[in-house]
Structure 1
Amino acid sequence: MSDGTRIRNKDLLVKIHLYNVQLLRQVLHVTNNVQKGRIIYRCVDRSLPGVCQFIQNHPRGNEIKAIIGITMLNRGCRQLGFDVVPISNPLYRGFKWINQLPIHLISVSNPINRFKKRHLPTYLVMSKNKLEKIYGHPST
């Protein structure tokens, strides 16, 4: 990863998910893609301190190496601290594309034009150290 952390087979990761129903309620009435992006960005930004706290309080928190998610909506993820990594397995990438198609169709104003730009799902990864540095609170 960009901070030098290496993930190996058998490393313990925390898989993160956006609560798509709640997110869709927030962006469904918005027609501007930039505004939709800002809403999604703020939602993720606000949730990451909670993810950090969850890991710090988890019984196996010391073993957790990173957080990982999969999304087709990866613009702005680097500013949040994530590394964007392509999914190399074409079958898994295709499965995830089909799986995430409904959220993609609802989240953009003109989905047909968006397909021409070939949005593919990618991994979003952030090391625990980077998460704690950006979103953690100093221990008291």
Structure 2
Amino acid sequence: MNASLLWLWGHWDSIYQRCTRLQYVDKGNNIFRIVLLRYRGEPLVTSDEHMICPGDLIVKLHIHNYYFATLCKGVKDELRLVLLLRRHIMQSMPKMTAYLEKLERWEEVKGIVGTTMLHKGVEPLGFSISDVPMNWFFRYKRWYLRLMLRIIHPDGKGRVQRLKQDMPLKRVYMSKEQLLYRYGSGAHQPTGEGL
């Protein structure tokens, strides 16, 4: 990736972070940023049969794309890129859970929800997947995430053009109970089996 482009992105990212109220889980050491908000989508049923309904307090999950781009600098192989992302997600989930458990309003939270094109392989991590409505907001978000992929991926432009129809935007989500079961301090099972 071009160094000056990465430098510009870093400045844009700091502005974006302030405008969106995103909180760092552990700046420079965790791939996630989060924000507490009220859920506004359709009702969701998680893999462990819990409900996330409109108006429920959720943790909105964001992959810190700029941070990941800095980690990928110089990586030319797609497989290495995928493995790097997987490793950082696996390392970040328990630390993010520990961070969330200390939030002032944690007792009110029903689950975690994110929107991503990187949804393949997330079910073994405990996430459920659903479609998002293609309104103006999600159309913009899909455009933005495709732009990020073009910048981060070693063959970004070609990848986006080849997979244009196979890159739908999806909602990924997990109940608070499932999150604690898998990634909390007393986690009951290994994480990420089957990836």
With normalisation by structure 1, the TM-score equals 0.87
Residue 133 of structure 1 and its aligned partner are, at CA, apart by 0.6
Alignment of 1:1-140 (within 5 A): 1-108=46-153, 109=155, 110-111=158-159, 112-115=161-164, 117-138=165-186
In terms of mean alpha carbon deviation, does 25-34 or 73-82 score higher? 25-34
Unaligned runs of 5+ in 2: 1-45, 188-195
One-letter identity of the residue aligned with 1:126 = M
Q: RCO (CA 8 Å, sep 6+): is it higher in 1 or 2?
A: 1
Q: CA deviation at 1:54?
A: 2.0
Q: Which amino acid aligns with 2:49?
A: G
- 1:118 maps to a residue whose letter is D
| Structure 1 runs of 4+ with >6 Å offset | none
Contact 1:73 1:104 in 2 (8 A): no
Q: Which moved more, 1:101-110 or 1:123-132?
A: 101-110
C-alpha distance in 1 between matches for 2:83 and 2:129: 18
- Provide the rounded CA distance (Å) in 2 between the counterparts of 1:94 and 1:25: 26
3-state secondary structure, aligned to 1:21: helix
Q: CA RMSD in A?
A: 1.8
Whether contact under 8 Å (1:36, 1:107) holds in the other structure is no
Three-state SS of the structure 2 residue aligned to 1:10 is: coil
Tell me how far 1:106 sits from its aligned partner: 2.7
Shift of 1:27: 2.1
Deviations 1:27-70 (A, max 9, x none): 24222222211111111111111221122111211110111111
Distance in 1 (CA, whole Å) between partners of 2:121 and 2:54 is 28
Percent pairwise identity = 24
Cα distance in 2 for partners of 1:49, 1:33 equals 26
Q: Which amino acid is 2:175 matched to?
A: S
- Tell me how far apart the structure 2 counterparts of residues 71 and 125 of structure 1 sit (CA, whole Å): 11
Structure 1: segments with no counterpart, 5+ residues: none
Shift of 1:74: 1.6
Count, aligned residues: 138
CA distance in structure 2 between the partners assigned to 1:30 and 1:79 by the alignment: 26
SS at match of 1:76: coil
